[in-house]
Amino acid sequence: DTFRPRIAKFALENGVAIVNDESGVFSEEMASLVKEYNANWIFMHTGNKTSSEVAVYENGVVENVLGFFKSMKEQALNFGIDENKLCFDYGIGFGKTREDDLTLLKNTDVFSEFKPLLVGVSNKRVVGQATGREVDERVFGTISAESVSVFLGADVIRTHNVKACV
């Protein structure tokens, strides 16, 4: 996980094969590294905000994320990056209200043209709000949210408790 190209470069030089880019923007510097190392690149939507900030999505969060995915994919392909090296994450908990997070989860199938689709909901605040549980008590809520995501088309689950998720 990084948004800094220098960190990604260090990781790639040391055998990492996937850059989980949490920047929420297209960076030519990051694109150059991904291309040079033939790495996989995960784009995460943030609404240009951090995990403690909330963006306002005038056309709704789903439309905003769809536009972001389309733009990122187009820019990456124009940069010469292989489409099979791209992965898309709608960024649960980053720049979103818990209602935005729930809207994205229940609309996972809308993102079916963007493959693989990664969902990272494990132990997040949205699970805590929905279940009333603290972080260390969110395993069942997490599994429920992950299961719904897979049922609706998620290809990759980013989880903390692999055994329980499996």
Question: pLDDT for 5-14, tens place per residue?
Answer: 999 999 999 9
How much is the average pLDDT of 25-41?
A: 97
Question: What does pLDDT average to over the chain?
Answer: 95
Question: pLDDT for 136-159, tens place per residue?
Answer: 999 999 999 999 999 999 999 999
How much is the average pLDDT of 86-110?
A: 96
CA distance 110 to 128: 25
**How are beta strands 117-119 and 86-89 bridged, if at all?**
parallel
Residue 57 has pLDDT above 90, yes or no: yes
Q: Amino acid letter at 96?
A: K
pLDDT for the residue numbered 1: 86
Quote the percentage of the chain above a pLDDT of 90: 95
Residue 52 has pLDDT above 90, yes or no: no
Close Cβ partners of 58 (under 8 Å, ≥ 6 residues apart)? none
pLDDT for the residue numbered 50: 79
Instruction: Using the CB atoms, write b or e for 118-149: b if 16+ within 10 Å.
Output: bbbbbbbbbbbebeebeeeebbebbbebbeeb
How much is the average pLDDT of 11-40?
A: 97
Least confident range of 32-36, 130-134, 152-156: 130-134
Instruction: Quickly state the pLDDT bin for 25 (edges 50, 70, 90).
Output: very high
